[in-house]
Structure 1
Amino acid sequence: MSALVASAALAPAVLLASPAFAADAKAPAVSAPDAGSKTADEQAVADREEILRLMEAKGAGSSVKERGTKAIDGGPAAMRKFIEEGQYEARFEDDRVRVAQIASVGGRSVGEAARRALNVGTRESVKEFLEVGQFKARLDDYRVETLRIMHKGGPSVHEAGSAALNANTLDALEQFIKVGQFKARNVDNRVAVTTLINDGGPKVRAAGIKALLGTPEDVQAFLDKGQFEARKLDEADAAAAKDKDKDKGKGKDSGKKDEADASKGTATGTGKGTGTVTTDAGSKPVTAVAVDGQAPASAGSSLASTGAGSALPWAAGGTAVALAGGAGLVVAARRRRV
């Protein structure tokens, strides 16, 4: 078989992003080379070159490579059999492996569609999944993922997600999931940081401004952790300032109390008072001294007739002495007159 015929029989398979093509259900008939056109050696050389090309083609799987290598090692007959039959069997095995790989990295819808194709187990079901089914299922998964991101995001994320859903294409939804959501989230995060700066204390403002001047990762780190650490520092500073104000208030109250005690001490301190004691010999001034903190009688007050009251014991004794002296003077005067 010529290289041109074998090339036309090959269907390339591409994983994930590009459509993958399974082998045809039946291999096309390949006629034996005309005896007069090519010799056996020439045919063997051509078959070998074709197998190498199949093995190096984009999307060739491990089965194609392994079986192709064995066919080359097996000689002309083995190479001819691989080209006529073996390549399709090997490609079908590789396509089944590729379906399983797509299911392992896809979403829920992709996984379900892949399992259905493998359960049917025909070349047609596998080919349909690789060429069409995986992309329909991926579109459903992308829509679900976009809605999930929008639910957790802010206004900018919601707006970008809505635009992708309205476009309803794999490219638009994939671009939002892989790139757009992060750009939109950064916008929302910066708005959130600005709000915290306006409402926060000195430490929160300083940390927020520093985050805004940094990378999107710095902004996210501030929202996740930094704002709370800065707020604790602001609260600690506020508590310290409050305690300081209380200490100042206590100092002022203590000073006022000391002044009041000083004034009270002056009023009750030791002092002297004067009074007048009246006797038969006349009136004489008497000076009273406070004893044991007792205030003396006020000036000008007279002693009680009973000897009790504000006059002190020593005052009474002084009065008695004065009276005795006065009486002695009276007796002496009378004697002189006699």
Structure 2
Amino acid sequence: MKFSRIAAAVTTAALAPAVLIASPAFADGPGAPDAGHQPATTTPDQSVPDQAEEDRKTILAIIAHPMASEYMKEAGHKAIADGPKAMRKFIEVDQHKIRLDDYRIAISRLTADAGPGLKEGINKLLSSRHDIDMLRHFYEVTQYELRDDDNRIEISRLIGTGGPAVKEAGKKALKGTPADRTQFLKTGRFLAQASDDRVELSRIEESWDGPILSEAIGKLLNGSPTPAELRHFLEVTQYELRDQDNRVAIAKIIDGGGPELVKAGRAALAGTAADRTEFLKTGQHEARAKDQAAKDKAAKDKPAPGKDGQDQGNGSGPGTGTGTGAGATGNTATTAQGHTGAPLATTGAGDNTTLIAGGAGTALVAGAGLLLAARMRRAGAQR
């Protein structure tokens, strides 16, 4: 009896908790929590994500993207600070509107270094209806295709106008990849141009006579000039030094030159560099020709040596004629005292010559009278 009672009590005690828990009276009794306010289990269900935390992570990834503008970043941080509802709105609505504007702005900025083809493509896209996918594709794909087309055109132009080194490097770039063409336009063209510039400077040094420019070219080439320095020398400096050499050359030309040469040279020195180049090329020769013409005319107009404009010594000019004095016929030209037979030189024409001839005749008559008087005295003495 005692053993059977103990067994029944143990069985009842073991079954009692299961019956009580399953009983409706226990579940809905006064001490049970309201629906929707059941106590949380001690171990949470890891398969149900926390939506707010996921949204926060999504927003952080959006604003960390390289295309995210400052406005996108600012709006994302504000949504996180405003809570789950603001974050959900940012993800579903705001980010797409902002991204659309960001792409528009980024594509517009491409025009700063764009070629003609890319600029045309940008204007066409932004002036027509477009969505985020069209903008993204243009920014990530189309712009590079249009850039390469522009690069090909620019390289072809450089080949047409460049020297041997530029032509060779440009043709190689055209056969290469888009990256090769970009690299050629960025650095390769300048290295090739520097090679051509060195050749051109050497040619100028050999052909130029002026010391100033020649000396400067030699000094430049013997140094380590950059491509930019070589190009600046060819495009600017050489012309400044050429003009200095031209000034020196003009000063030497007009030193001791004729009036027209001096006049033209001084005008060139006071003028422009182009005036000085023109003087050395043609002006000096024209001025020399004028000076020579003036010299020839002066020589033609000058009397010949020993002539005074009248013929003398031919028996037809003044001081000649048939004498009428005693004992003289024929040429009456007399000789100066102290000379034997040399005709008396005249110092002029006209009245002076006539006076000299008249004086000579008077002297001749007086001499004959004296001779006659002497003979008469001798005859008287003899008687």
TM-score, normalized by the shorter chain, greater than 0.5: yes
The corresponding residue for 1:159 is: 215
The one of 165, 174, 191 aligned to 1:136: 191
Matches within 5 A, 1:39-78: 39-54=95-110, 56=111, 58-72=112-126, 73-76=128-131, 77-78=133-134
Larger radius of gyration: 2
Q: CA distance change for structure 1 residues 103 and 264 in 2, over 3 Å: closer, same or farther?
A: same
Kindly indicate whether residue 269 of structure 2 is the aligned counterpart of residue 208 of structure 1. no
The corresponding residue for 1:89 is: 145
Q: Which has the higher contact order (CA 8 A, sep 6+)?
A: 1
**Using the alignment, how far apart are the partners of 2:63 and 2:161 within structure 1?**
40
**Using the alignment, how far apart are the partners of 1:180 and 1:2 within structure 2?**
53
Q: CA distance change for structure 1 residues 51 and 169 in 2, over 3 Å: closer, same or farther?
A: closer
Question: Alpha-carbon deviation of 1:88?
Answer: 1.8
The corresponding residue for 1:256 is: 312
What TM-score results when the alignment is normalised by the length of structure 1?
A: 0.62
**Using the alignment, how far apart are the partners of 2:174 and 2:259 within structure 1?**
62
The corresponding residue for 1:311 is: none
Question: Alpha-carbon deviation of 1:232?
Answer: 1.2
The one of 153, 163, 167 aligned to 1:111: 167
8 Å CA contact 2:315–2:321 kept in 1: the answer is no
The corresponding residue for 1:230 is: 287
Q: CA distance change for structure 1 residues 145 and 7 in 2, over 3 Å: closer, same or farther?
A: farther
**Using the alignment, how far apart are the partners of 1:253 and 1:271 within structure 2?**
31
**Using the alignment, how far apart are the partners of 1:109 and 1:46 within structure 2?**
43
The corresponding residue for 2:36 is: none
Question: Alpha-carbon deviation of 1:158?
Answer: 0.3
Q: CA distance change for structure 1 residues 158 and 3 in 2, over 3 Å: closer, same or farther?
A: farther
Q: Partner amino acid for 1:65?
A: K
**Using the alignment, how far apart are the partners of 1:230 and 1:65 within structure 2?**
57
Q: CA distance change for structure 1 residues 261 and 91 in 2, over 3 Å: closer, same or farther?
A: closer
Query: Quick one: percent identity of the two aligned structures?
Result: 34
**Using the alignment, how far apart are the partners of 1:240 and 1:3 within structure 2?**
95
The gaps in structure 1 that reach 5 residues or longer are: 9-33, 274-289, 294-338
Q: CA distance change for structure 1 residues 192 and 4 in 2, over 3 Å: closer, same or farther?
A: farther
**Using the alignment, how far apart are the partners of 1:53 and 1:263 within structure 2?**
110
Question: Alpha-carbon deviation of 1:186?
Answer: 1.6
**Using the alignment, how far apart are the partners of 2:237 and 2:203 within structure 1?**
14
The corresponding residue for 1:315 is: none
Matches within 5 A, 1:281-296: none
Question: Alpha-carbon deviation of 1:2?
Answer: 6.7
The one of 44, 62, 66 aligned to 1:5: 66
Whose strand fraction is larger, Structure 1's or Structure 2's?
A: 1
The C-alpha deviation readout for 1:181-221, integer Å capped at 9, x for no partner, is 12211221122112211242222123223322333333222
Question: Alpha-carbon deviation of 1:39?
Answer: 4.9
The gaps in structure 2 that reach 5 residues or longer are: 1-61, 70-89, 331-383
Q: CA distance change for structure 1 residues 84 and 187 in 2, over 3 Å: closer, same or farther?
A: closer
Q: Partner amino acid for 1:99?
A: I
Kindly indicate whether residue 277 of structure 2 is the aligned counterpart of residue 220 of structure 1. yes
**Using the alignment, how far apart are the partners of 2:68 and 2:309 within structure 1?**
104
**Residue 252 of structure 1 aligns to a residue in which SS?**
coil
**Using the alignment, how far apart are the partners of 2:124 and 2:253 within structure 1?**
69
Q: Partner amino acid for 1:114?
A: G
Q: Partner amino acid for 2:261?
A: V
Question: Alpha-carbon deviation of 1:264?
Answer: 5.6
Q: Partner amino acid for 1:46?
A: D
How many equivalent pairs are there?
245
Q: Partner amino acid for 1:187?
A: Q
**Using the alignment, how far apart are the partners of 1:210 and 1:6 within structure 2?**
66
Kindly indicate whether residue 163 of structure 2 is the aligned counterpart of residue 102 of structure 1. no
Kindly indicate whether residue 180 of structure 2 is the aligned counterpart of residue 180 of structure 1. no
The corresponding residue for 2:300 is: 243
